[in-house]
Amino acid sequence: MAITKTKFINYVRCPRYVTLDGIKKSALLDDMDIYEYMKEEEIEKRDELISHLIDEEGNDLIDVTDKQLNTMMPYYNEVELLAGSIASKYFDGSFKYSKTTYNQESFDAIINNSRYICYVDIYNENDDGINIIECKATTTNKYLNLSYKGKSIFAKDEKGIYRLLEELNIDDYMPSKTYDKLKEKLFDKYSPAGHYVYDLAVQRFIIENDLKQNGDDRKVNYYLGVLNSEYVFDGKYENGKPVYDEINGEEIISFIDLTSVTEKLMDKIDLESKMVSGYINDFHDDIVPLGVWCEKNKTHKCKFCPVCFDRVPSKNSIFSYMDSHHGFKKNNVKYTDYDLVNEGKVGILDIDESYLTRYKNVIQRRSVESGKPYIDVDKIKDGLDTIKYPVYHLDFETFPCPLPRYRGERPYTQSVFQFSLHIEKEPGVCDNDKDHFGFLSKDHLDRREELIKYMCDLIGDGTVIVYNESFEKTRIKELSLIFPKYRDKLLKINDQIFDLMNIVKTKTKMYEKLGYDKDRAKLINYYHPSMDGSYSIKKVLPVFSSLTYQGMEVANGVDAMITYASFPKLNDKEFKHRYQKLVEYCKQDTYAMYKVLEGLRKCVK
């Protein structure tokens, strides 16, 4: 065994990790089995992919199974190979890259009495030195979104490689303080952009030590190779497979030079490496503080979260307070959610109301204490009165493929492959079977036009109800741009959309228009202790109905997209079965919305 980049990132989390993992000091000087390394790499890549499939900020993080993820791996491998072939357009010299770790360039060094090892995704050598490129199935958006008034702290150089503005001598895009603040995020390994920077920096730390120990003083530059969010696929195929040519000066993969950024992290990582040696020498199983380093709500969360968080209740904990990450305050002293948990205040009722600075948290606390729901009857009634019948309960399932599959798509476009529609002709009149309509692609061919046509034919005047409108509205807008023939009808549907969450939670502007003052308009309309701080449909549904997703073979959005992704690999019998299970799941999603609406009506009668 040896310390790999992934292991290091985990060991550095806290002293307890090393102990729980049972790491033996002697083993860390051994060589490493390539299969073990490959397994580790694969898990890391899967985490990366899955983080794009689910909403990490949400409270409903799903533990994804290996089987589900195996379906996604080919897409990831293709990204790596594309990055390797496109790199030669940007860099001179010889390349070493491969789908398999066996054929990748490797580095290893003894650092602080342990053996460190890493493999490089793309290794490039030329007269100027070495270029190291790490491929990530993420997009340029993570970096371009570090922006001010639409301008990012990164811009392309004359070759088309993204660099920091300071390296391009651009200083008129934003005030320098704003620039520094945005750039700081690159050094926060818990931020979306900083996560990959830190990963690359650990790689650099191992490579630099290896080169130094071998007396190699060539110049090395460090890049991320990521999917280009500006790339729009033109729909060109060869032998049925998409061809990702350069389009309007954009390649599907972009390179981001992080040489100067990772350099600034070298001293810190050296210190961390010494710290890790200390953890290994000094085993201890004491309870350690929990914190952001556990990354509890992320796909790459610490694998020991179930052990260490066992002192935190699984429901109605401090973390269940809405916006708990914004913290709490008592006697002018600020507390983060982790401060409170580490003080032993782990449940919602373990702190009194004087800690709560947001009134919605007071409502949550009172609701948990009394065991009764909070209901703003007037707001709910007024919200319900805005709904015009017939009501069309609409929901899409999408597949955010890393590589665009159809014309007009970009990397990770939420590609619509299904819609489900329940029509409620008048309040309370909707049969789960007779009033249900839907479309589900049977294969991976471009079926978007069929889907749009059928949906447009079904939806007439009335209200189109969705749950969390930004998702459906954005999909419809995207489709209206790709299929101008249906633009007018699609935009009309968008105008008819009403978000059911506006009534369950609230929507400040809507309630202000209905005559409520700002404070009341802003405040939540409904809360039940079993919602556990979340307004997701999966948490809201059980409050209003006995309908449940438990026991369903396809039981959540990730299951749904992975079931769809697996269609081409299934035999006839398997396909029929899985298709049916997916139909059942999608149907339940819109019937759930009908049930929630019905429940709201009943609770304010």
Which residue ranges make up the site for ligand SF4 (CB under 6 A)? 13-14, 16-17, 20, 288, 290, 293-294, 302, 304-305, 308
CB-wise, 276 or 401, nearer to ligand SF4? 276
Supply the minimum distance, in Å, between the C-beta of residue 17 and ligand SF4. 4
Placement of tokens 């190699």 in the chain = 216
Residue number, 14 or 193, with CB nearest to ligand SF4: 14
Helix 266-281 × helix 192-213 angle, to 10°: 80
Q: Are 511 and 474 in contact (CB under 8 A)?
A: no
> What distance in Å separates the CA atoms of residue 576 and residue 571, rounded to the nearest whole number?
9
Decide whether 287 or 333 has the Cβ nearer to ligand SF4.
Answer: 287
Peptide bond before residue 390 is cis, with ω within 30 degrees of 0: yes
Which residue, chain included where needed, has tokens 């060991």? 11
Three-class DSSP labels, 261-321? HHHCCHHHHHHHHHHHHHHHHCCCCCCCCCCHHHCCCCCCCCCCHHHHHHHCCCCCEHHHC
Of 307 and 377, CB closest to ligand SF4:
307
Find, among 338, 334, 343, the residue nearest to 291 by Cα: 338
* Closest distance to ligand SF4 from the beta carbon of 205 (Å): 20
- Measure Cα distances from 125 to 83, 211, 341 in Å: 16, 14, 50
> Smaller CB distance to ligand SF4: residue 302 or 452?
302
Least Å distance between CB 253 and ligand SF4?
33
The DSSP letter of residue 546 is S
- Least distance from C-beta 13 to ligand SF4, angstroms? 4
Return the number of the residue (59 or 342) whose C-beta is nearest ligand SF4: 342
Provide the minimum distance between the beta carbon of 284 and ligand SF4 in the complex, in angstroms, as a whole number.
Answer: 12
| Residue 384 host element (H or E) | helix 377-385
Measured from the CB atom, is 285 or 517 closer to ligand SF4?
A: 285
Residue at 466: amino acid letter: V
The three-state DSSP-derived secondary structure of 11-28 is HCCCHHHHHHCCCCHHHH
Task: Give residues with Cβ within 8 angstroms of 80, minimum separation 6.
Answer: 97, 99, 121, 135
Minimum gap (Å) between residue 338 Cβ and ligand SF4 = 10
Query: H or E stretch including 537?
Result: helix 537-544
CB 75 within 8 A of CB 49: yes
Sign of CA dihedral 465, 466, 468, 469: negative
Rounded CA separation 422/588 (Å): 10
Q: How far is the CB of 306 from ligand SF4 (least distance, A)?
A: 8
Least distance from C-beta 293 to ligand SF4, angstroms? 5
* Three-state SS at 440: strand
CB of 346 to ligand SF4, least distance (A): 14
In whole angstroms, how close is the CB of 6 to ligand SF4 at the nearest point? 14
Tell me how far, at minimum, the Cβ of 285 lies from ligand SF4, in Å. 10
Residues 17, 302: contact at Cβ < 8 Å? yes
* Cα–Cα distance, 367 to 349 (Å, whole number): 10
Closer to ligand SF4 at the Cβ: 240 or 306? 306
Contacts of 362 (CB under 8 A, 6+ apart): 353, 356
d(CA 500, CA 392): 12
Nearer to ligand SF4, 123 or 279 (CB): 279
Which of 264, 284 has the CB closer to ligand SF4?
284
Q: How far is the CB of 395 from ligand SF4 (least distance, A)?
A: 35
Of 288 and 456, nearer to ligand SF4 (C-beta) is 288
Residue 10 or 229: which CB sits closer to ligand SF4?
Answer: 10
Least separation in angstroms between CB 18 and ligand SF4: 9
Query: Judged by CB, which is closer to ligand SF4: 294, or 500?
Result: 294
**Integer CA distances (angstroms), 152 to 155, 166, 172, 180, 420, in order:** 7, 12, 12, 12, 38
CB burial readout 521-534, b (16+ within 10 A) else e = bbbbbbbbbebbbe
Q: 17 or 535: whose CB is closer to ligand SF4?
A: 17
- Six-digit token pair at 340? 């409170």
Shortest spacing between CB 12 and ligand SF4, in angstroms: 9
Strand partners, 436: 422
